[in-house]
Amino acid sequence: MTDVTHHYTTAPNEADRLHRTPHGRLEHLRTRELVRRHMTSPARVLDVGGGTGVHARWPAADGHHVHLIDIVPDHVDTASRLPGVTASVGDARDLPVRTDTVDAVLLMGPLYHLLAPTDRAQALAEARRVLRPGGTLVAAAISRYLSALETGTTGNLGPALIGPVGKVIASGRYDGHVGFTETHWHTADELHDEISAAGFRAPIVYGVEGPAWPTLDAVGIDGFDDHVESALRCARLLETDPLMINGSAHFLAFARS
């Protein structure tokens, strides 16, 4: 996990990304919308790989009891200062949490940072272990089609990128060709199957941003307010459509332990 720690120590804050880019703003709006749809009662929430607390701040404000775990000590220090949030250093594959003690686990980052299938399976197994029976898993993943849609929309899909973009679509192995660090990118079916294989019940995978997100980036921040409601309606309309779901930049899966 050295590369992950280095990336998040030197890269812009994740909260900044979710406000700086139009599709980041859409992602944040939809993530909150989907989580709130599935997590209504006050819950004991474990935010695993939660960074500086971008997805811990608002559940705590909603009345949930949130504890964040992250591998980067600076992230933990920042998150621990948020109202209603406690935080500690830890690894998604070996959680320092007792069995059957939390109502919901947020895995909003670990599944794409863990390149090996065995490591992703271990993180899911740990999430299942700490959840009480009937507890909720919320797991995020990045779509294999993100860079194809992004570079195709921005005009940057030149001959040199055809190979790397095609590779991530075929294998899920992302090499950093449009920024970010090396990660694993999913299809919606792959995410569903990994969660099912970990022993969770009835996983549902949603497309977060829907297929209109590249248009928001194309119109820019200045045009965001004029286009976001239409993009949100499109995302909701197609959120589980099997033919369109992979057009989202991110997925969000929900399942029960």
Instruction: Return the structure tokens found at 214.
Output: 């590249």
Spatial contact of 204 and 253, defined as CB atoms under 8 Å apart: yes
**pLDDT of 12:** 58
Residue holding tokens 């406000």?
19
Mean pLDDT of 130-159: 97
pLDDT tier for residue 6 given thresholds of 50, 70 and 90: very low
Enumerate long-range contacts of 57-66, CB under 8 Å, 24 or more apart.
Answer: 57/82, 57/83, 57/85, 58/32, 59/35, 59/106, 60/84, 60/85, 62/36, 64/39, 64/104
- Please name which of 124, 153, 131 lies closest in space to residue 211, comparing C-alpha atoms: 153
Task: Find the largest Cα–Cα distance for the chain.
Answer: 51
Residue 198: the pLDDT is 98
User: DSSP class of residue 203?
Assistant: E
Q: Say if residue 4's pLDDT is above 80.
A: no
Average pLDDT over residues 141-163: 96
Residue 70 has pLDDT above 80, yes or no: yes
pLDDT digits (tens, 9 = 90+) for 7-59: 455 555 655 656 779 999 999 999 999 999 999 889 999 999 999 999 999 99
**Number of C-beta neighbours around residue 122 at 10 A:** 18
The pLDDT value recorded for residue 28 is 96
79 by Cβ neighbours in 10 Å (0-12 / 13-18 / 19+) ranks as buried
CA distance 255 to 196: 9
Instruction: Give the chain's domains with CATH numbers.
Output: 2-143+186-256 (3.40.50.150), 144-182 (no CATH)
pLDDT digits (tens, 9 = 90+) for 71-118: 999 999 999 999 999 999 999 999 999 999 999 999 999 999 999 999
The confidence score (pLDDT) of residue 7 equals 46
The first and second tokens of residue 46, run together, are: 């474990």
* Greater pLDDT, 256 or 3: 256
Rounded to 5°, the CA angle 236-242-245 comes to 50
| 161 vs 65: CA distance, rounded Å | 44
Give the pLDDT confidence score for residue 179 in this predicted structure.
Answer: 85
> Which of the four pLDDT bands, split at 50, 70 and 90, describes residue 178?
confident
pLDDT band at 3 (very low <50, low <70, confident <90, very high): low
pLDDT surpasses 80 at 152 = yes
Strands (DSSP E) found in the chain: 44-48, 65-70, 85-89, 102-107, 131-142, 173-174, 183-184, 201-207, 250-256
Query: What pLDDT shows up at residue 222?
Result: 94
Percent residues over pLDDT 70 in the chain: 93
- What residues are paired with 65 via a beta bridge? 44
